[in-house]
């Protein structure tokens, strides 16, 4: 074993004691007695793991953890806390520390935590990059969800994640997978985006020649997720026919590819998500009750942002920093009153809306310290885009309305129809705050059809949303 571990505590005796235990187990130990020294050493020496005391003078454990992450140090950090600061340690774990240990440390407890951290880091390295998406939140309503997620992660129990649009259903599904022992694959299927004729082959695969267009064998998502997690997103939009097949696959743990007679056994953990009220769907005979009970062994309801308002400033900071980084701006921060203003708004699109808004603010203002005035400017829409440059204008930019476009210059009926249809879809998307389910609903068309149209007309919902924001 040659993992290198950095031990940080202002009490030298403790550092020495931990170092001795670790050295005996064959780990290489680095030591620091102050937060800032720890950061310096971590950046320079790139240890595989940091063990960090919470209570230290000048720069405490939380600040050190924050600084380490800021500097791009992504390896696991184990927090050590005294009896009085367990709460802080728990918070540190929420903010991305791997684990925490309470003083007095036991030799076994320490070694187990270290082994877990090192093993997880090694296993996690190659998995999907999205899994590293940091999950942010300290509000009790959210912490409650994270606790449940962590507790159920190592089991194979199916989980049904419910909650409004943009509340983080997908990110928590990935989090559960990340904390499970199923390190293999996280395979996602968006049940609403796949047309009904194709979903069976998508889920169970098909053999060559089983239908027109099946030019070679195809592995379905169930098999692709064997040993891992299958995430059935927007499960409420799955047709009754497909529901019956999925139910069978889950019950019997076997799948039969389209056009084949040979059952294949699969071992997958199912996490499903929906923003529909499945009880209602069952009532109206659109969702099978037996499938519901199979999927809903554990229900995790994601709180909407209005139920966890205290997280808005924290998230705003995180999103500003992240989007600054993507745009070549270092250490982007929002002033307190800028965050205060953001916290006062409503976010019908929940975390996604907040994230998009903050990204817009960062991109448009191009500053590393964002003031309340900068936020106001974007909220009031006092800007315009010309030649790819953002300009502040005193007038609201009015998006072109259908009547302003000279439709009679168009000759072909098809082009006319397409142009109108495109505008119509964009308009409906705006009305629903870019919620695809709702848009499909008011347009009275299946979601899969809406997805097709979005592709056909090259409508990028995320981009539109970022441009218009949610002006509800
Ligand atoms: N706790 C969180 N910390 C950081 N980012 C978050 C958090 N929750 C959500 N996000 C971000 O917000 C966006 C929306 O999250 P996600 O896609 O998980 O929501 P959803 O509930 O699946 O939405 P939908 O119902 O529209 O499918 C993503 O960009 C995600 O990374
Ligand atoms: Mg989702």
What pLDDT digit, counting tens, does each position of 340-370 carry?
999 998 999 999 999 999 998 998 888 889 9
3-state secondary structure (DSSP) of residue 33: coil
Q: In what order do the strands lie in the sheet with 49-53?
A: 28-32, 4-8, 49-53, 77-81, 99-102
Ligand 1 touching residue 167 (CB < 6 A): yes
Q: Match 């007038």 to its residue by tokens.
A: 395
Of 32 and 388, which is predicted with more confidence? Answer: 32
Report how far residue 215's alpha carbon sits from residue 259's, in angstroms, rounded to the nearest whole number: 12
- In CATH, the number for domain 4-124 is 3.40.50.2300
- The CATH 1.10.10.60 domain(s) of the chain lie at 402-468
Torsional sign, CA 189, 192, 193, 199 = positive
Q: How far is the CA of 170 from the centre of ligand 1 (A)?
A: 6
Cβ neighbour number for residue 256 with a 10 Å cutoff: 18
Q: Which residues, chain by chain, have CB under 5 Å from ion ligand 2?
A: 169-170
Ligand 1 touching residue 236 (CB < 6 A): no
Lowest-pLDDT choice from 122-136, 170-184, 345-359: 122-136
Ligand 1 touching residue 352 (CB < 6 A): yes
Q: Does domain 140-301 have CATH number 3.40.50.720?
A: no
CA 87 to chain centre: 25
Q: What pLDDT does residue 181 have?
A: 78
Report how far residue 462's alpha carbon sits from residue 455's, in angstroms, rounded to the nearest whole number: 13
Phi/psi of residue 444, nearest 5 degrees: 55, 50
Question: How wide is the angle at C-alpha 73 spanned by C-alphas 70 and 74, nearest 5°?
Answer: 110
Percent of the chain with pLDDT over 90: 49
Say yes or no to pLDDT of 395 above 90: no
Say yes or no to pLDDT of 398 above 50: no
- The CATH 3.40.50.2300 domain(s) of the chain lie at 4-124
* Arithmetic mean of pLDDT, 309-330: 91
Length of the chain: 472
Q: How far is the CA of 266 from the centre of ligand 1 (A)?
A: 29
Q: What is the dihedral of CA 137, 141, 147, 152, to 10 degrees?
A: -120
At 401, is the pLDDT very low, low, confident or very high (cuts 50, 70, 90)?
very low
Q: What is the dihedral of CA 341, 343, 346, 350, to 10 degrees?
A: 130
The two tokens of residue 160 are 């049904």
* Arithmetic mean of pLDDT, 224-235: 94
The two tokens of residue 412 are 């072909």
Helix 61-70 to helix 35-45 angle (10° resolution) is 30
User: Which ligand gives the minimal distance to the CA of 318?
Assistant: 1
Say yes or no to pLDDT of 25 above 60: yes
Which string of DSSP letters, residue by residue, matches 327-393?
TT--S-EE-HHHHHHHHHS--TTHHHHHHHHHHHHHHHH--SEE-HHHHHHHHTT-EEEETTEEEE-
Say yes or no to pLDDT of 311 above 90: yes
Ligand 1 touching residue 135 (CB < 6 A): yes
Q: What pLDDT does residue 116 have?
A: 81
- The CATH 1.10.8.60 domain(s) of the chain lie at 308-392
* Arithmetic mean of pLDDT, 278-306: 95
pTM: predicted TM-score of the whole model, two decimal places: 0.61
Report how far residue 43's alpha carbon sits from residue 31's, in angstroms, rounded to the nearest whole number: 13
Q: What pLDDT does residue 166 have?
A: 93
Q: Does domain 402-468 have CATH number 1.10.10.60?
A: yes
Say yes or no to pLDDT of 334 above 90: yes
Q: What pLDDT does residue 403 have?
A: 47
Say yes or no to pLDDT of 232 above 90: yes
Cβ neighbour number for residue 43 with a 10 Å cutoff: 13
Q: What pLDDT does residue 382 have?
A: 58
Ligand 1 touching residue 353 (CB < 6 A): no
Report how far residue 71's alpha carbon sits from residue 67's, in angstroms, rounded to the nearest whole number: 6
Report how far residue 115's alpha carbon sits from residue 262's, in angstroms, rounded to the nearest whole number: 42
Phi/psi of residue 188, nearest 5 degrees: -110, 140
Ligand 1 touching residue 81 (CB < 6 A): no
Return all residues near 283 (Cβ < 8 A) that are at least 6 apart.
none
The two tokens of residue 159 are 């989980």
* Arithmetic mean of pLDDT, 57-63: 88
* Arithmetic mean of pLDDT, 385-394: 48
Q: What pLDDT does residue 341 have?
A: 93
Q: How far is the CA of 466 from the centre of ligand 1 (A)?
A: 15
Fold of domain 308-392 = Helicase, Ruva Protein; domain 3 (1.10.8)
Ligand 1 touching residue 317 (CB < 6 A): no
Q: How far is the CA of 141 from the centre of ligand 1 (A)?
A: 16
Q: What pLDDT does residue 104 have?
A: 86
* The ligand 1 atom nearest the CA atom of 142: 1
Instruction: State the chain's mean pLDDT as an integer.
Output: 85
3-state secondary structure (DSSP) of residue 73: coil
Q: How far is the CA of 393 from the centre of ligand 1 (A)?
A: 32
3-state secondary structure (DSSP) of residue 298: strand
Say yes or no to pLDDT of 15 above 90: yes
CA 350 to chain centre: 13
Q: What pLDDT does residue 390 have?
A: 47
Lowest-pLDDT choice from 18-32, 77-91, 221-235, 407-421: 407-421
The two tokens of residue 214 are 């099946």
At 123, is the pLDDT very low, low, confident or very high (cuts 50, 70, 90)?
low
Ligand 1 touching residue 47 (CB < 6 A): no
Q: What pLDDT does residue 247 have?
A: 95
Say yes or no to pLDDT of 96 above 90: no
The two tokens of residue 394 are 């005193």
Q: What pLDDT does residue 33 have?
A: 94
Say yes or no to pLDDT of 388 above 60: no
Q: What pLDDT does residue 366 have?
A: 86
Q: What pLDDT does residue 208 have?
A: 83
Return all residues near 77 (Cβ < 8 A) that are at least 6 apart.
49, 50, 51, 52, 65, 68, 92, 96, 97, 98
């Amino acid at each position: 074993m040659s993992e290198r571990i950095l031990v940080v505590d202002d009490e030298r005796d403790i550092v020495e004691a931990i170092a001795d235990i670790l050295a005996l187990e064959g780990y290489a130990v680095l030591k620091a007695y102050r937060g800032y020294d720890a950061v310096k050493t971590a950046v320079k020496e790139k240890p595989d793991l940091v063990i960090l005391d919470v209570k230290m003078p000048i720069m405490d454990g939380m600040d050190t953890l924050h600084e380490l992450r800021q500097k791009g140090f992504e390896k696991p950090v184990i927090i050590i806390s005294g009896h009085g600061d367990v709460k802080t340690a728990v918070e540190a774990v929420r903010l991305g520390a791997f684990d925490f240990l309470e003083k007095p440390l036991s030799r076994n407890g320490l070694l187990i935590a270290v082994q877990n951290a090192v093993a997880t880091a090694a296993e996690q390295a190659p998995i999907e990059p999205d899994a590293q998406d940091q999950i942010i939140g300290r509000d009790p309503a959210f912490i409650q969800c994270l606790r449940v997620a962590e507790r159920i992660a190592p089991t194979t129990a199916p989980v049904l994640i419910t909650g409004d649009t943009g509340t983080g259903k997908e990110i928590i599904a990935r989090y559960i997978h990340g904390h499970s022992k199923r390190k293999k694959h996280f395979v996602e299927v968006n049940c609403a985006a796949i047309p009904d004729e194709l979903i069976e082959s998508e889920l169970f695969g098909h053999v060559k020649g089983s239908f027109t267009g099946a030019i070679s064998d195809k592995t379905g998502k169930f098999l692709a997720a064997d040993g891992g997690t299958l995430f059935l997103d927007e499960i409420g939009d799955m047709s009754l026919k497909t529901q019956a097949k999925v139910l069978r696959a889950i019950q019997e743990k076997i799948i039969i590819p389209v056009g084949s007679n040979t059952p294949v056994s699969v071992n997958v953990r199912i996490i499903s998500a929906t923003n529909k009220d499945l009880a209602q769907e069952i009532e109206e005979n659109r969702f099978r009750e037996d499938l519901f009970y199979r999927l809903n062994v554990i229900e995790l309801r994601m709180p909407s942002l209005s139920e966890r308002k205290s997280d808005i400033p924290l998230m705003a900071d995180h999103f500003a920093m992240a989007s600054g980084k993507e745009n070549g701006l270092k250490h982007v921060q929002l002033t307190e009153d800028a965050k205060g203003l953001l916290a006062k708004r409503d976010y019908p699109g929940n975390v996604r809306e907040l994230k998009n808004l903050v990204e817009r603010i960062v991109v448009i203002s191009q500053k590393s310290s964002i003031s309340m005035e900068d936020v106001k400017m974007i909220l009031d829409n006092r800007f315009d885009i010309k030649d790819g440059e953002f300009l502040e204008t005193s007038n609201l930019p009015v998006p072109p309305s259908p009547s302003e476009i000279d439709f009679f210059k168009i000759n072909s009926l098809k082009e006319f129809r397409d142009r109108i249809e495109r505008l119509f879809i964009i308009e409906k998307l705006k009305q629903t705050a870019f919620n695809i389910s709702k848009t499909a609903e008011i347009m009275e068309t299946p979601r899969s059809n809406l997805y097709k149209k979005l592709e056909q007309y090259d409508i990028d919902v995320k981009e539109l949303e970022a441009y218009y924001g949610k002006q509800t």
